Amino acid sequence: MSSVFYLRRSFARVRERCGSFAGIVLTLCLLSILPSATFADAMDQARRIHDRLAGVPPTDQILLDMTDDINGVGGRTEIDAAYRAMDNPGFYNVT
C-alpha cells in the first residue's frame, strides 16, 4: 500500500512540475511572438491605425501626415491621426 501511495505522490509531483514548466514555456512563446505597439515607431503606429480603420494601406502623404499627428507636430494628437484615417473612402466600405 505504501508503494502505491509513493507512486501517486511521485506522479503528482511530476504533473505539477510539468504543468508549471509548460505554463512558463507557453507564456514565453506568447510574449515572443506577439507584436508590441510599445516598441513601434510613429510611422508603424500610423500605418497600423490606417490599416485597421480604413482597411487599405495609406498613401505616402497620408502616412507622413499621420506620423506628424502622432508625434504631436502642430499640437495634434493620435486622435487626429485616427480621424485622418477615417477620411479615407475605404473606411465607409469596411465598417
For residues 59 and 24, state if they share a domain.
no
For residues 49 and 90, state if they share a domain.
yes
pTM, two decimals, is: 0.58
Distances (CA, A) of 48 to 4, 17, 73, 83, 94: 58, 40, 19, 14, 15
Gap between the Cα atoms of 43 and 67, Å rounded: 5
Summarize pLDDT for 35-94 with one digit per residue, the tens: 665 567 899 999 999 999 998 999 999 999 999 999 999 999 999 999 999 998 888 886
The per-residue b/e assignment along 60-78, b for 16 or more CB within 10 angstroms, e otherwise, is eebbebbbbbbbeeeebeb
For residues 85 and 48, state if they share a domain.
yes
For residues 28 and 54, state if they share a domain.
no
For residues 12 and 47, state if they share a domain.
no
Neighbours of 5 (CB within 10 A): 9
For residues 13 and 46, state if they share a domain.
no
Query: Can you give the residue range of the structural domain that contains 66?
Result: 37-94
